[in-house]
A and B are shown apart, each in its own frame.
Chain A
Amino acid sequence: MLELNINGQTFEVGDDVDPATPLLWVLRDTLGLVGTKYGCGIGQCSACTVHINGAPLQSCQLPVERAVGQEITTIEGLAVEGELTELQQAWIDEDVAQCGYCQAGQVMRATALLAQNPNPSDADIDSFMSSNICRCGTYNRIRSAIRNAADRLAANRGSNSRGVV
């Protein structure tokens, strides 16, 4: 039996799951958290990006036993009580998604970017986001949405309201 802390909740994973199973498949098949996506399984596309203690990581590369005791955040856990983060809202406002399949990973990665660099330049964005592949080619709008969210967060900080990414 493994205990996982995902999005602030404790999940139990039974003994029928091999502890070497990548976190990705435990999230999707065992726990039903299907927002995290399978794209390549070899750490090349980053569709499966989650946060481990706030840092972005490809969940297809992390054996579930090594996720025990860590704070895991998935795309389902970004919005708190249904309130979207500024970045999620910017993603909707900029109509970033085409097919949408890579976007959970993109949003997770971009969330981590803004947490460490609240005012990224276009070059910062392109460099940080280069790990995440979008087959539809939504890169320009990804950049716009990140800029948009950064501006909103800056405005929020100015007005002392919550500055959640």
Chain B
Amino acid sequence: MTRHEQDFELDPYVPESIQRWRAERRKAMSLDRRHFIKVTGLTGGGLVLGLGASAPDVVRAQAGADVFEANPFVQVRPDNTIVIFSKNPDVGQGVKTAMPMIVAEELDVDWEQVVVEQADIDQSRYGVQIAGGSTSIPSNWMSLRQAGATARAMLVAAAELELGVDAAELTTESGHVIHEASSRRLSYGELAERASTLPVPDPVSLTLKARPDWKLLGRRITGVDNEKIVTGQALFGIDQQLPDMVYATLVKAPAIGARPVSANLDHVKGLPGVIDAFLVERVGDPIEFGIDTAAVLPGVAIVANSTWATFKARDELEVEWDESEAASDSWSEAVAEATRLGAAQGEESLVDSGDVDTAFAEASATPEGFYTYQFASHADLEPQNCTAWFKGDSIEIWAPTQTPTMAIPAVANLLGLPEDRVTLHQLRGGGGFGRRLANDSVCEVAWIARQLGVPVKAQWSREDDMGFDYYRPGGFHSFRAALNNQGRLSAWQDHFITFGRNGRPISSANLTGREFPVNALPNARITQTLLPSGIPSGPWRAPGSNALAFAIQSFLHECSAAAGRDHLEFLLELFEDVSPPRGGGSGGFGGGGLDPARAAAVTRRAAEEAGWGRELPAGRGLGLAFYFSHRGHFAEVAEVS
């Protein structure tokens, strides 16, 4: 078993389908690490270094004309411009800047000579390309460093031949190889063509830079798209324009599960600017969240010569909907039901450790708390949209998706095309927050485009975007805790009331039960009850954590208050009991877990900087919370009036 495989553990808050893709990719990489990096020549001179997931047959160093098309990862151009392709989507998390910085660091070039381009979407060369689970940097860290270091090593090897000196006498700096003894200096651009004829070194054999030698990493570099952003250049999905492009909007059935029976299509087709209007039946399962799901919501598509014409036409659209199978979920009923259920234990046991009953029987205080959080839309500021051009036996797509690698099979399945007939161009997303993990907007436009034969942009209105989301699921926690006569937490109980379908929690409505402080306590009882739901749900930024942090940490504070204890002291005491020391916690992956020493350090620091314990005017107070998520230890102090 390789180190990568050992490190892999299921993260409860990242969709399993994403983790499956990631695991497959890691496996492919570890099987064939030597062949991970390939190098090819660049037409017109220069070095192209590609990053391949698992393609042993294409690994060769050669100067060929065709390979220019082969999704290069690093290009060294004769004028010493370094083009670095950033593989993953950028939806505001900054990876379009951060990932190339890692390559540039090991390549030893100045940021000023780097040009960053968004990579093509091609799994055979880049592996999985996604923005999800906060993994772009940790998952790609080593491969990006190796990509830069490999290119550098080959440029040094080229200089060795060019200058007739030993590599040990050569150093690199700012995109140049330097032979100090003879004061000679060659730019990478000058060496590129020769380097492209040399064998590719085994990346594992290369010495990577030591941290004190970093020049770029750790520095704040302004985002590579910032100038385009402040000058209004086309960048986002919604900005895509094509010759002869038409505009579409799908008026989706207002009740989840409803379908259109008929509509005043003839009237709509006669409205200004309208080109076509037609009913769209449901395709696949658009309710269940899935990153590679081939599905389309039912509704009425309106195609027109401008976005505004589609929006105006929908005002006059009259549809007869069949709501016989529509969901009739009611939030107020769910709240009432959860409140009633919270008084007792749940149907399913998630954690049952130690002797909770005895701890409660012997407790000197037993605080209780009932916490509620609602369904929430992602509310990306750029309403969902996508552009597609169906050409009979192929389709070209321009998408601000977070999961382009999965959009391709989704569209291929939807249209019955081979995957190699689906081309996807990655555009910047005006916010993601997990909303663009789902490729529903991509499938929708592909389905509409299939009937048109010209490029079409399907634009969701703001109301569509809020109304047809894969929502962060709501939930309820009925907490009870036992405090012993020393004011220490001795037992923890949580009846988690969440939403389910087919006997399982809906997407992102699950709980592992291992969240701190359960892993610090000998006695814990976590139970779960599912309320039926027909609502689409999915991951929302920091899935799980975004609701659990507030509920669990707030109740913990209620516990220390009930014990008459200082909350900082109370938390620090709990960290000492975290067991096993490096296990448990939520949202950790790759073997990462809650580290009690770091937890204590970050909490102490936050308390110190906020002046925890200081005198405050009447009516004001300080709150302190800790949380562990996605390998990160967080502490926060709020002053509340």
CB contacts (< 8 Å) of B235 on chain A: these are 100
Chain A residue at smallest Cβ distance from B459? A38
Q: Would you call B323 an interface residue if the criterion is a C-beta within 8 Å of the partner chain's C-beta atoms? A: no
A48 to B461, CA, bound (A): 14
Chain A residue at smallest Cβ distance from B457? A29
Q: Would you call B430 an interface residue if the criterion is a C-beta within 8 Å of the partner chain's C-beta atoms? A: yes
Q: How many residues in A have their beta carbons less than 8 Å from beta carbons of B?
A: 47
CB contacts (< 8 Å) of B92 on chain A: these are 97-100, 136
Contact A18 B231 (CB under 8 A): no
CB contacts (< 8 Å) of B231 on chain A: these are 35, 75-76, 78-79, 84, 88
What are the 10 A-B residue pairs with the smallest beta carbon separation, nearest first?
A35-B232, A101-B430, A99-B92, A75-B232, A98-B92, A25-B308, A100-B229, A34-B239, A88-B230, A29-B306
Residue in A16, A36, A78, A99 with the greatest tally of chain B CB atoms within 10 Å: A99
Q: Would you call B330 an interface residue if the criterion is a C-beta within 8 Å of the partner chain's C-beta atoms? A: no
Contact A107 B462 (CB under 8 A): no
Within B324-375, the residues touching A (CB, 8 Å) are none
A35 to B433, CA, bound (A): 22
Known interface pairs A78-B231, A97-B226; 12 further A-B residue pairs with C-beta atoms within 8 A, sorted by A's residue number:
A18-B272, A18-B308, A30-B306, A32-B241, A37-B381, A41-B462, A47-B381, A75-B232, A92-B226, A96-B226, A99-B432, A103-B230
Q: Would you call B4 an interface residue if the criterion is a C-beta within 8 Å of the partner chain's C-beta atoms? A: no
Interface of A, helix, strand, loop or mixed by DSSP: loop
Q: Would you call A155 an interface residue if the criterion is a C-beta within 8 Å of the partner chain's C-beta atoms? A: no
Q: Would you call A133 an interface residue if the criterion is a C-beta within 8 Å of the partner chain's C-beta atoms? A: yes
Contact A21 B306 (CB under 8 A): yes
Within A96-121, the residues touching B (CB, 8 Å) are 96-104, 107
Please name 22 pairs of A and B residues whose Cβ atoms are closer than 8 Å in the assembled complex, sorted by A. Answer: A21-B308, A22-B308, A29-B247, A29-B306, A29-B308, A35-B232, A35-B234, A36-B232, A37-B381, A39-B462, A41-B462, A75-B230, A91-B230, A95-B222, A97-B223, A99-B429, A100-B235, A100-B236, A100-B430, A101-B236, A107-B230, A135-B433
A79 to B229, CA, bound (A): 12
Min C-beta distance of B234 to chain A, whole Å: 5
Min C-beta distance of A131 to chain B, whole Å: 14
Contact B229 A104 (CB under 8 A): yes
Q: Would you call A42 an interface residue if the criterion is a C-beta within 8 Å of the partner chain's C-beta atoms? A: yes
Contact B239 A92 (CB under 8 A): no
Q: Would you call B117 an interface residue if the criterion is a C-beta within 8 Å of the partner chain's C-beta atoms? A: no
Min C-beta distance of A33 to chain B, whole Å: 7
Q: Would you call A45 an interface residue if the criterion is a C-beta within 8 Å of the partner chain's C-beta atoms? A: yes
Q: Would you call A74 an interface residue if the criterion is a C-beta within 8 Å of the partner chain's C-beta atoms? A: yes
Chain B residue at smallest Cβ distance from A95? B222
A35 to B232, CA, bound (A): 4
Q: Would you call B66 an interface residue if the criterion is a C-beta within 8 Å of the partner chain's C-beta atoms? A: no
Contact B225 A100 (CB under 8 A): yes
CB contacts (< 8 Å) of B379 on chain A: these are 135
B78-117: contact bitstring with A at CB < 8 Å (1 yes, 0 no)? 0000000000000111100000000000000000000000
Within B451-501, the residues touching A (CB, 8 Å) are 459, 461-462
Min C-beta distance of B596 to chain A, whole Å: 30
Q: Would you call A154 an interface residue if the criterion is a C-beta within 8 Å of the partner chain's C-beta atoms? A: no
Min C-beta distance of B18 to chain A, whole Å: 20
Contact B382 A16 (CB under 8 A): no
Contact A99 B308 (CB under 8 A): no
Chain A residue at smallest Cβ distance from B226? A92
Q: Would you call A40 an interface residue if the criterion is a C-beta within 8 Å of the partner chain's C-beta atoms? A: yes
Contact B381 A39 (CB under 8 A): yes
Contact B230 A99 (CB under 8 A): no
Contact B230 A28 (CB under 8 A): no
Min C-beta distance of A134 to chain B, whole Å: 8
Min C-beta distance of B132 to chain A, whole Å: 15
CB contacts (< 8 Å) of A81 on chain B: these are none
CB contacts (< 8 Å) of B272 on chain A: these are 18
CB contacts (< 8 Å) of B232 on chain A: these are 33-36, 74-76, 104
A100 to B427, CA, bound (A): 13
- Which residues does A use to contact B, with CB under 8 Å? 16-18, 21-22, 25, 28-30, 32-42, 45, 47, 74-76, 78-79, 84, 88, 91-93, 95-104, 107, 133-136
Q: Would you call B238 an interface residue if the criterion is a C-beta within 8 Å of the partner chain's C-beta atoms? A: yes
CB contacts (< 8 Å) of A16 on chain B: these are 273, 305
Among B234, B247, B382, B459, the residue within 8 A (CB) of A99 is: B382
Contact A102 B222 (CB under 8 A): no
A115 to B331, CA, bound (A): 48
CB contacts (< 8 Å) of B431 on chain A: these are 99, 101, 135-136
Chain A residue at smallest Cβ distance from B383? A38
Q: Would you call B227 an interface residue if the criterion is a C-beta within 8 Å of the partner chain's C-beta atoms? A: yes
Chain A residue at smallest Cβ distance from B225? A100
A103 to B228, CA, bound (A): 11
CB contacts (< 8 Å) of A88 on chain B: these are 230-231
A33 to B94, CA, bound (A): 25
Min C-beta distance of B272 to chain A, whole Å: 6
Among A36, A38, A92, A136, the residue within 8 A (CB) of B230 is: A92
Given contact pairs A34-B238, A91-B226, A95-B222, A101 touches B381 in the complex (Cβ within 8 A): yes
Q: Would you call B233 an interface residue if the criterion is a C-beta within 8 Å of the partner chain's C-beta atoms? A: yes
A74 to B232, CA, bound (A): 8
B19-46: contact bitstring with A at CB < 8 Å (1 yes, 0 no)? 0000000000000000000000000000
Contact A25 B306 (CB under 8 A): yes
CB contacts (< 8 Å) of A98 on chain B: these are 92-94
Contact B241 A38 (CB under 8 A): no
Chain A residue at smallest Cβ distance from B247? A29
CB contacts (< 8 Å) of A37 on chain B: these are 236, 238, 381-382, 430
Q: Would you call B565 an interface residue if the criterion is a C-beta within 8 Å of the partner chain's C-beta atoms? A: no
A16 to B309, CA, bound (A): 11
Contact B428 A100 (CB under 8 A): yes
A21 to B272, CA, bound (A): 12
